Amino acid sequence: WGPAAIGLSLAYVGLVMALVQALVVGPVISRIGDRRALMIGLACGAGGFLAFAFVTAGWQAYAIMILAALSGFVGPSANGLLSRLAGPERQGALQGGLGSLGSVAAILSPFAMTQALAAGVEHGFPGAAFLLAAGFALLALGIVVWRVLDRGAEQPSVVAEA
């Protein structure tokens, strides 16, 4: 991978993610609801990360990105679901908490992923960071299945109302 291939791949990632966000996320969440969309997004994210861990040819990364782009369901569906669960009087606290968690993740993730990459490369497996990311996505999916699905009937999606 040279500079041109890296630039092309990043442009492709941006295009695929933008298309999913603009054309797929809203209509799908409106149709299937936040809970299912969240589970699909986490499962696709985990599957994408797992597949990226074992890429042996550049073209494979381009194919996997289509699956991984469906992780774009996670943010909007999680925000919609959590917003409804928190209720109108707790929206500020919820959004502040989510912002704080995002900041902590932005601080810790680079350290964790570079350590996983370094350890993986040292042992002949450069995909270790992707396995760690897949593990976190699967952990999140497990929490969603365990804690969110037992909360009763699905409420209308915030995305559908917008």
Q: What residue ranges of the chain have pLDDT lower than 70? A: 150-162
The pLDDT value given to residue 40: 96
Domains of the chain: 3-161 (1.20.1250.20)
Nearest to 41 by CA among 120, 161, 162, 159: 159
Is-above-0.75 flag for pTM? yes
Burial of 56 (0-12, 13-18, 19+ CB in 10 A): exposed
Percent of residues, the chain, with pLDDT higher than 90:
83
The pLDDT value given to residue 1: 80
